Amino acid sequence: MFSHALEKIWTMSGFANLSWQSLIMIAVACVLIYLAIGKKFEPLLLLPIAFGILLVNLPLTGLMDEPPSATEPGGLLYYLYLGVKKGIYPSLIFLGIGAMTDFGPLIARPSNLIMGAGAQLGISCAFIVAILLGFDPKEAASIGIIGGADGPTAIYLTTRLAPDLLPAIAIAAYSYMALIPMIQPPIMRLLTTKKEREIKMEQLREVSKMEKIVFPIVVTVLCVLLLPSVAPLIGMLMLGNLFRESGVVERLSSTAQNALINIVTIFLGVTVGATAKAETFLRPETLMIIGLGLFAFMLSTVGGLLIGKFMCWASKGKINPLIGSAGVSAVPMAARVSQIEGQKANPYNYLLMHAMGPNVAGVIGSAVAAGILLSLFGS
Amino acid sequence: MTILDSLLAALFTFAMVFVVLITLMLLIRLTNYLLVLIMGKKANAQGGNGHV
């Protein structure tokens, strides 16, 4: 009788139901937790993502299970995941990003937008290669958007076009964003001469408060009229920025850039991680996505740098092409890399504020690219 | 989707990003011009909240 009870407890425990695939995923989760804590690789998102992977791959938890009937509840993460599935979290994150971002450098030099556009090159190239590798157009578009280097945008587009690929794409996007200081500098040095890297840029002009208030309204009207599908992302980004710049809703601005974005980041991270179940994640496609993501990321850096070089030539050497690589939208990491590389070439070079222009232009650019892909391939 | 279709879609996406962002650039310049015109250069600059 006692041994029968023990056997029953054993068979009902997670240990008896552990598969080798689950063990691999638990190991992946532990590696990601190490990278987040030990190496500080995008810890704000990688840590909740990693823990989500850990939780969902422990057997019998039912955390992501749909409700079995109308009266019985589903798993906790199933409900939280609805915010990802319905595109709520990425939009709310954009609200917080908008409230945190100073678009002043972009308004002071609007031509930075061209660098932000050039740095979307990787999206198109990765899309073509993904099609050649046998992905369908929706999947290829979702993979390509990794080149935009914008996590919320990648998640937003993928949940709409290829939800099955969400965990691989989200993990690839955030991993490469964390690896920017390693991925970008060799490409930057390869594509620019020392003379170009040494260029010291003039201080940006002063931007009036009125310009900063008008900016989010102009961007919203133009982008949403041209691409209605981008309204949730651009609309929220610009609403957050209007909170910030208006100066009359300090509490709302503060909530958006602190409490709200932190809460949503927790929900987004854990639930995106929780989609990485062994059976959907351990596939050859995952490795291909990770490879294609790196390819997209590198080509986006190349695109931004080439436009930077062109603008350097067009401005007769007044623009340092290094700021072009900041056109990938990973804010503010990509701008910091431009600053570091600029200072390596010339210790008196301060490119950070100049690089913030293309950097925030990249946020708009990747959201616009997502809107176009959604218009082309969305149902 | 044929290879040609995917090439066209990729080119269209990239070109459209440029079109939207260049339009935006022109609109920002126009807005600044109009603000200076309406408020005067001095008034526009006085409204500023510091160097960027």
User: pLDDT digits over B11-22, tens only?
Assistant: 999 999 999 999
* DSSP code, position B48: B
Q: For A219-260, what is each residue's pLDDT tens digit?
A: 999 999 999 989 999 999 999 999 999 999 999 999 999 999
Q: Check whether the bond before A321 is cis (ω within 30° of 0).
A: no
Cβ distance of B47 and A376 shorter than 8 Å? no
Q: For A307-357, what is each residue's pLDDT tens digit?
A: 999 999 999 999 999 999 999 988 888 999 999 999 999 999 999 999 999
Say what percent of chain A tops pLDDT 70: 100
Say what percent of chain B tops pLDDT 90: 48
Q: For A116-150, what is each residue's pLDDT tens digit?
A: 999 999 999 999 999 999 999 999 999 999 999 89
Asked if the C-beta of A103 comes within 8 angstroms of chain B's C-beta atoms, the answer is no
Mean pLDDT of chain A: 92
Q: For A17-63, what is each residue's pLDDT tens digit?
A: 888 999 999 999 999 999 999 988 888 888 999 999 999 999 988 89
Mind spelling out the 3-state secondary structure of chain A? CHHHHHHHHHHHCCHHHCCHHHHHHHHHHHHHHHHHHCCCCCHHHHHHHHHHHHHHCCCCCCCCCCCCCCCCCCCHHHHHHHHHHCCHHHHHHHHHHHHHCCCHHHHHCCCHHHHHHHCCHHHHHHHHHHHHCCCCHHHHHHHHHHHHCCHHHHHHHHHHHCHHHHHHHHHHHHHHHHCHHHHHHHHHHHHCCHHHHCCCCCCCCCCEHHHHHHHHHHHHHHHHHHCHHHHHHHHHHHHHHHHHHHCCCHHHHHHHHHHHHHHHHHHHHHHHHHCCCHHHHCCHHHHHHHHHHHHHHHHHHHHHHHHHHHHHHHCCCCCCHHHHHHHCCCCCHHHHHHHHHHHHHCCCCCCHHHHHHHHHHHHHHHHHHHHHHHHHHCC
pLDDT of B49 reads 45
pLDDT of A254 reads 97
pLDDT of A255 reads 97
Cβ distance of A113 and B24 shorter than 8 Å? yes
pLDDT of B2 reads 84
Chain A / chain B CB contacts < 8 angstroms: 124
Q: For A173-217, what is each residue's pLDDT tens digit?
A: 888 888 888 899 999 999 999 999 999 998 888 899 999 999 999
The distance of B29 to chain A (nearest Cα, Å) reads 7
Half-sphere exposure of A317 (CA within 13 A, CB side): 8
User: How large is the ipTM?
Assistant: 0.87
Residues of A in contact with B20 (CB under 8 A): 117, 222-223, 226-227, 368
pLDDT band at B45 (very low <50, low <70, confident <90, very high): low
CA A317 to chain centre: 32
Q: Are A248 and A33 in contact (CB under 8 A)?
A: no
Say what percent of chain A tops pLDDT 90: 75
pLDDT of B51 reads 42
pLDDT of A311 reads 95
Is residue A13 scored above 50 in pLDDT?
yes
**pTM, full prediction:** 0.90
Is residue A366 scored above 90 in pLDDT?
yes
Is residue B42 scored above 70 in pLDDT?
no
Is residue B48 scored above 80 in pLDDT?
no
Residues of B in contact with A365 (CB under 8 A): 17, 21
Q: For B1-13, what is each residue's pLDDT tens digit?
A: 788 999 999 999 9
